[in-house]
């Protein structure tokens, strides 16, 4: 998922320059001078901000079939670290999105079409086959976002929060079932 981050100093100065280009103008920024001074000079390239597993799948769709993923990505102006690419490729092989030659499998083609991380996409595709899509979609959506269970800072509240989370698992010891049940309870309470 793409996260909301502060722009760079270069973006701020470019926007300021555009405010008076055609006629007199004013550019307002909703951050302090201290925040501006602590911003990065330039934005980190999108290539280095996105999840590498998704990037590797997209690379296999775009690159020549004989080209390895690491070789193709190494030609970028600022390529991701080689060890990170190798780790992502290995994970894609484990979930059967890539074969041993780094070619897309049938599963890989389907995962490349889904707008979610590949391991979540495989979970959804398997749920279709196993005819349990509704609960798996809920679990996949909650995993794609931040954890809804927050751990308070006070020890008395921590115990209560952990007990509440345990109640949602219903002795399954499954975080996924806890997420599903928390969503189901919330929807039930919202309807009534």
Is residue 2 scored above 70 in pLDDT? Answer: no
Would you state the pLDDT for residue 190?
57
pLDDT band for 130, please (50, 70, 90 cuts): very high
Is residue 129 scored above 90 in pLDDT? Answer: yes
Least confident among 74-78, 117-121, 173-177:
173-177
Q: What is the rounded distance in angstroms from the CA atom of residue 107 to the CA atom of residue 44?
A: 31
Would you state the pLDDT for residue 158?
79
How far from the centroid of its chain's Cα atoms is residue 26's Cα?
Answer: 36
How far from the centroid of its chain's Cα atoms is residue 71's Cα?
Answer: 24
């Amino acid at each position: 998922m793409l996260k909301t981050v502060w722009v760079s100093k270069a973006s701020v100065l470019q926007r300021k320059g555009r405010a008076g280009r055609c006629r007199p103008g004013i550019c307002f920024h909703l951050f302090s001078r201290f925040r501006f001074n602590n911003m990065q000079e330039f934005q980190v390239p999108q290539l280095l901000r996105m999840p590498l597993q998704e990037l590797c799948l997209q690379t296999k769709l775009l690159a020549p079939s004989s080209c390895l993923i690491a070789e193709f990505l190494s030609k970028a102006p600022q390529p991701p670290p080689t060890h990170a690419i190798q780790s992502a490729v290995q994970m894609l092989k484990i979930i059967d999105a890539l074969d041993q030659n780094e070619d897309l499998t049938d599963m890989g083609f389907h995962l490349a079409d889904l707008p979610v991380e590949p391991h979540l996409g495989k979970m959804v595709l398997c749920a279709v086959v196993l005819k349990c899509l509704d609960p798996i979609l809920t679990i996949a959506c909650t995993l794609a976002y931040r954890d809804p269970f927050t751990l308070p800072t006070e020890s008395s509240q921590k115990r209560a929060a952990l007990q509440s989370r345990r109640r949602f698992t219903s002795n399954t010891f499954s975080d996924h079932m806890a997420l599903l049940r928390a969503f189901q309870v919330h929807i039930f309470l919202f309807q009534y």
